[in-house]
């Protein structure tokens, strides 16, 4: 299976920038998008294509905020939205799909840069997600993609030293990713590329993308049981339309 993930930073905006052409040409079996910013009830405006069906989890707490969606041409056994913990329902951050060989999660993890309350919410969401994933992992392996809103190591952003006190690269945020990996989840891109300089998000200001001054905060993780099934993982940094770019995973699901 080919799986893709992209924080589009507003689906209405990216549709004006050749999103449908990209979708039809990407070759993916499932595409997870984050930060769709679609209001509940407006999802039918983006009802998929002849190839893809769609499912949405849109924010109910604020208009034009957050939201995730999946375009899929391989039919899952089951689909569910949001985490089971009620404290983290309403922001439209998660879609869960069950396939033959794994559970697939498309997640837009919270941004912790809007003050202490949101940073605490981010950590709570991280922990609630890991607990949920570990519960399901007793049945099947896990694939999780999306915008984690944290760069893991100094290799994953251009200016590590100057961002040590910035949310997205705080020691405690990075420590959670350490814990996630220690729990048995594999950063698939790092299976193939050990060097820095590969990013998935660039600030719109200061021509950051032109200068490749970026952060790698969009990932595909698989639980350790699927490590041997990973054939390829990559970043499509040439794809424009958002301040993020797509990331992909080629998984042997046979």
- CATH number, position 155: 3.60.10.10
The answer, yes or no, to whether residue 160 has pLDDT greater than 70, is yes
Mean pLDDT, range 69-98, rounded to an integer: 97
- The mean pLDDT of 166-180, rounded to a whole number, is 98
Report yes or no on whether pTM surpasses 0.95. Answer: yes
Residue 76 has pLDDT above 90, yes or no: yes
What mean pLDDT, rounded, does the chain reach? 97
At residue 14, the pLDDT reads 97
| Residue 108 annotated among the catalytic residues of the structure | yes
Q: Which residues are annotated as a binding site for Mg(2+)?
A: 7, 35, 147, 149, 243-244
Residue 47 has pLDDT above 90, yes or no: no
Among residues 88, 152, 244, 250, the one annotated as catalytic is 244
Is residue 147 flagged as an active site residue? yes
Expressed as residue numbers, the domain containing 207 is 2-251
Q: Active-site residue among 72, 108, 121, 199?
A: 108
Quick check: 51 pLDDT over 80?
Answer: yes
Known catalytic residue: 152? no
pLDDT at 48 over 90: no
Catalytic residue among 125, 147, 199, 219: 147
Query: What is the predicted pLDDT for the residue at 96?
Result: 98
Report the alpha-carbon distance of residue 189 to residue 96 in Å, rounded.
22
- The distance in angstroms from the start CA to the end CA of the chain is 9
Q: What is the mean pLDDT of residues 101-125?
A: 97
Selection from 59, 61, 62, 53 nearest residue 34 by Cα: 59
pLDDT category at 17 given cuts 50, 70, 90 is: very high
pLDDT band with cut points at 50, 70 and 90 for residue 73? very high
Please give the pLDDT value at position 236: 98
Tell me what pLDDT residue 254 has: 65
Domain count, the chain: 1
Residue list for the binding site: 7, 35, 147, 149, 243-244
Inform me whether the pLDDT recorded for 143 exceeds 90: yes
């Amino acid at each position: 299976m080919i799986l893709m993930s992209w924080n589009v930073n507003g689906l209405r905006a990216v549709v004006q920038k050749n999103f449908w052409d990209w979708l039809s040409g990407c070759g993916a079996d499932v595409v997870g998008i984050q930060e769709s910013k679609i209001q509940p009830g407006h999802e039918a405006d983006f009802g998929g294509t002849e190839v893809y069906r769609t499912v949405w989890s849109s924010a109910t707490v604020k208009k034009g905020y957050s939201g995730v969606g999946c375009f899929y041409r391989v039919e899952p056994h089951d689909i569910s939205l949001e985490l089971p913990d009620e404290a983290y329902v309403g922001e439209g951050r998660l879609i869960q799909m069950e396939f033959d060989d794994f559970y697939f999660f498309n997640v837009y993890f919270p941004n912790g840069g809007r003050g202490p309350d949101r940073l605490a919410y981010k950590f709570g969401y991280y922990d609630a997600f890991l607990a949920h994933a570990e519960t399901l992992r007793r049945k099947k392996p896990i694939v999780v993609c999306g915008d984690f809103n944290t760069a893991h190591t100094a290799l994953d952003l251009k200016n590590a030293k100057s961002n040590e006190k910035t949310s997205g690269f705080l020691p405690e945020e990075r420590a959670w990713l350490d814990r996630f990996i220690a729990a048995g989840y594999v950063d698939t891109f790092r299976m193939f590329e050990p060097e820095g300089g590969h990013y998935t998000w660039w600030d719109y200001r200061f021509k950051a993308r032109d200068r490749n001054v970026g952060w790698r905060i969009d990932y595909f993780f698989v639980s350790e049981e699927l490590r041997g099934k990973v054939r390829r993982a990559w970043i499509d940094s040439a794809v424009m339309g958002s301040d993020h770019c797509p990331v992909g995973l080629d998984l042997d699901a046979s």
